[in-house]
């Protein structure tokens, strides 16, 4: 990239990029010594500069780009050659917003969340412009980092900020429900999500009626459970959730040998869901084994195949959030079963199933 100064007038300058020449005429003066290239809708400037180090941008030049090259909710971005920074405008249009969270609340919570994240990103300001909700960020980078690498960093930062803001909002509204956050492995995400959905039927088989929602956000899955009867203890549901998430890891597996036909049916349905999870894990392990020539450390890759239990990140209820370890540690006793020393309260589970054996569900 080369800046050609044909005269003292900056509007006569040209920017040579590969074999393409861009005139500064029609651009604007950004600062005393910084001039902004006109925005070229017809040319994918980002593609031409993505593999260049950010320090290759001339110090006098600021290049405007399509914000969606940096994040899907960014409407505008620009690279400043003077200090190797990238400014990004993140935007919500409330009229077309289809999220479940109030857009202004999400924007404001992102502002608050940005104060607690350790990052080189600086939140410049927020604006409500013609009904749009904007946040302007500035990111500083090391000179040798490529522009595509900088874009990946920006995308991850904004995603992390949105996730943190959403978590904070969800936690504020966890008085009468339980919100569990999961991070599933790609190969088993579908089967694990299905297993979460079945939890509501599992509760019904225990005599607990509730509603649930499963939402996907970035790499995480949010599972919300709310009892239909306000007198139902959230602790009871949490105890059931601990047992349910632990079932796929139980050795020996759950057996269905109960004499009551109704209880036998409920156990068979439960065993079927557990078997699906285990089967999907075995398939993924087999696929990885076939790729051993491409995988340098197979054992580490196999360890990444997560079950519902070890995919849990946190659980929120009563406006308090527990980590996965805290959540399971509060309910599980150690010492009896083979797998990880987990002891499950099967006597309580069978009592609940027996209590509802007259229910034909």
Q: What is the DSSP string of 200-230?
A: HHHHHHTT--EEEEEEEETTEEEEEEEESST
Q: Looking at the predicted structure, is the pLDDT value of residue 244 above 70?
A: yes
Residues 213 and 150 in one domain: no
Residues 305 and 231 in one domain: yes
Residues 124-152: tens digit of each pLDDT: 888 888 889 999 999 999 889 999 999 99
Rounded CA-CA distance 4/243 in Å is 69
Q: How many domains in the chain?
A: 2
Q: Dig out the tokens for 254 from the structure.
A: 């759950």
Q: Looking at the predicted structure, is the pLDDT value of residue 19 above 60?
A: yes
Residues 285 and 309 in one domain: yes
Least confidently predicted of 166-170, 236-240, 347-351: 347-351
Residues 156 and 275 in one domain: no
Residues 151 and 165 in one domain: yes
Residues 141 and 268 in one domain: no
Residues 212 and 333 in one domain: yes
Q: Dig out the tokens for 239 from the structure.
A: 């105890």
8: three-class secondary structure by DSSP: coil
Q: Looking at the predicted structure, is the pLDDT value of residue 104 above 50?
A: yes
Rounded mean pLDDT of the chain?
80
pLDDT at 336: 40
pLDDT at 108: 85
pLDDT at 251: 65
H/E segment holding residue 343:
strand 342-343
Residues 283-300: tens digit of each pLDDT: 777 776 666 655 555 455
Residues 137 and 199 in one domain: no
Which of 141, 172, 203 is the C-terminal boundary of a domain?
172
Summarize the confidence of residues 318-328 as an average pLDDT: 81
pLDDT at 243: 85
Please say whether the beta carbons of 24 and 38 come within 8 A: yes
Domain assignment present for 123: yes
Residues 184-206: tens digit of each pLDDT: 877 778 888 999 999 999 888 88
Which of 142, 172, 202 is the C-terminal boundary of a domain?
172
Domain assignment present for 215: yes
HEC-encoded secondary structure of 65-116: EEHHHCCCCEEEEEEECCCCEEEEEEEECCCCCCCCCCHHHHHHHHHHHHCC
Highest mean pLDDT among 38-52, 83-97, 174-188: 83-97
Residues 50-82: tens digit of each pLDDT: 899 999 999 999 999 989 999 999 999 999 988
Residues 75 and 205 in one domain: no
Residues 108 and 58 in one domain: yes
pLDDT at 153: 93
Which of 153, 172, 191 is the C-terminal boundary of a domain?
172
Residues 323 and 207 in one domain: yes
pLDDT at 71: 93
- For the entire predicted model, the pTM comes to 0.54
Q: Looking at the predicted structure, is the pLDDT value of residue 218 above 70?
A: no
CATH of the domain at 106: 3.30.1460
Look-up of token digits 């946040």: 135
Domain assignment present for 13: no
Percent of the chain with pLDDT over 90: 17
Instruction: Give the residue numbers spanning the domain of 141.
Output: 41-172
Percent of the chain with pLDDT over 70: 79
DSSP code for 177: S
Summarize the confidence of residues 250-276 as an average pLDDT: 74
Least confidently predicted of 52-56, 83-87, 109-113, 118-122: 118-122
Rounded CA-CA distance 70/203 in Å is 43
Residues 252 and 299 in one domain: yes
């Amino acid at each position: 990239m080369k800046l050609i100064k044909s005269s003292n007038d900056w509007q006569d300058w040209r920017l040579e990029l590969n074999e393409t020449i861009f005139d500064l005429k029609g651009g604007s003066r950004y600062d005393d010594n910084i001039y902004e290239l006109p925005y070229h809708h017809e040319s994918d400037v980002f593609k031409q500069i993505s593999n260049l180090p950010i320090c290759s941008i001339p110090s006098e030049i600021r290049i405007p780009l399509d914000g969606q090259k940096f994040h899907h909710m960014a409407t505008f971005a620009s690279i400043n050659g003077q200090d190797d920074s990238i400014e990004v405008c993140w935007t919500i249009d409330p009229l077309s917003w289809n999220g479940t969270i109030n857009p202004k609340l999400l924007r404001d919570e992102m502002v608050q969340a940005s104060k607690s994240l350790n990052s080189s990103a600086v939140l410049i300001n927020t604006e409500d412009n013609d009904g749009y909700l904007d946040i302007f960020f500035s990111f500083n980078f090391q000179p040798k980092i490529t522009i595509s690498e900088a874009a990946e960093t920006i995308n991850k930062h904004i995603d992390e900020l949105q996730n943190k803001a959403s978590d904070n909002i969800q936690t504020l509204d966890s008085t009468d429900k339980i919100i569990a956050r999961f991070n599933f492995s790609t190969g088993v995400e579908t089967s694990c999500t299905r297993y979460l959905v079945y939890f509501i039927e599992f509760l019904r088989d225990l005599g607990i009626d509730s509603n649930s929602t499963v939402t996907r956000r970035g790499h995480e899955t949010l599972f919300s459970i709310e009892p239909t009867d306000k007198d139902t203890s959230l602790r009871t549901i949490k105890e059931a959730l601990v047992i349910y998430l632990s079932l796929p890891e139980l050795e020996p597996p759950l057996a269905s040998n109960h004499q009551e036909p109704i209880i036998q049916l409920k156990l068979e349905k439960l065993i079927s869901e557990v078997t699906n999870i285990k089967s999907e894990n075995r398939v993924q392990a087999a696929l990885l084994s076939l790729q051993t020539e491409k995988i340098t450390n197979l054992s580490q890759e196999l360890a990444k195949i997560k079950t519902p239990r070890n995919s849990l990140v946190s659980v929120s209820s009563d406006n308090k959030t527990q980590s996965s370890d805290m959540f399971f540690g509060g309910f599980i006793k150690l010492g009896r079963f083979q797998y990880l020393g987990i002891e499950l309260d099967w006597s309580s589970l069978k009592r609940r199933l027996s209590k509802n054996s007259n229910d034909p569900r």
